[in-house]
Amino acid sequence: MGVERLAGQVRAWYEQKPLTVVGVMTGSLVLLADLIRLLDMPLKVGLVQAASYHGVNRRPLSINPEMMPDVVGHDVLLVDDIFDTGHTLVEVSGLIRGLGPKSLRSAVLLRKEGRQEVEHDPDFVAFDIDNQFVVGYGLDYCDAYRNLPYVAALEPHDLSERET
């Protein structure tokens, strides 16, 4: 499975060093929960809230770091659901870097091919996918579908029906 492979990559990189894992809310919650259960090093876990979409419409990114643990001098793994254009990962990474971690790496469940708009790539990726709008396993469309236990692509008519 992809999350097990992802956890194996993280374990191999960090070995048994203490790690601070920061999940990007809300989409990464399912991945974050499954991932940390597969990591056997000492962990601190926290969250940062970032929002840039309403349905399929992009809006300016808003970041709320209030639930983020202290990262000064710590090895930090930033976990997000999907790497699409890359703006969310770059901006949240910049915020965390400004707080003085010892190191910062990133992990994503999905990397969408053909959408990247930044000069950055996640360090760990569970799956590469085509350019489709996907939901499930934490990913949503208009706050629906997060609870699906799998990832599914929405058809164009599914997108237009919920926009209202």
Q: Which pLDDT tens digit goes with each residue over 27-38?
A: 999 999 999 999
Check if the beta carbon of residue 53 is closer than 8 Å to that of residue 159: no
Q: Catalytic site residue 84?
A: yes
Q: What is the per-residue pLDDT across 125-163, written as a single tens digit (0 to 9) for each?
A: 999 999 999 999 999 998 899 999 999 999 888 876 555
Cα 151 to Cα 136: distance, rounded to the nearest angstrom: 5
Helix, strand or coil for residue 56?
coil
The CATH-assigned architecture of domain 2-130 is 3-Layer(aba) Sandwich (3.40)
- Please state the domain extents for the chain: 2-130
The model's pTM is 0.90
Catalytic residue among 34, 40, 84, 140: 84
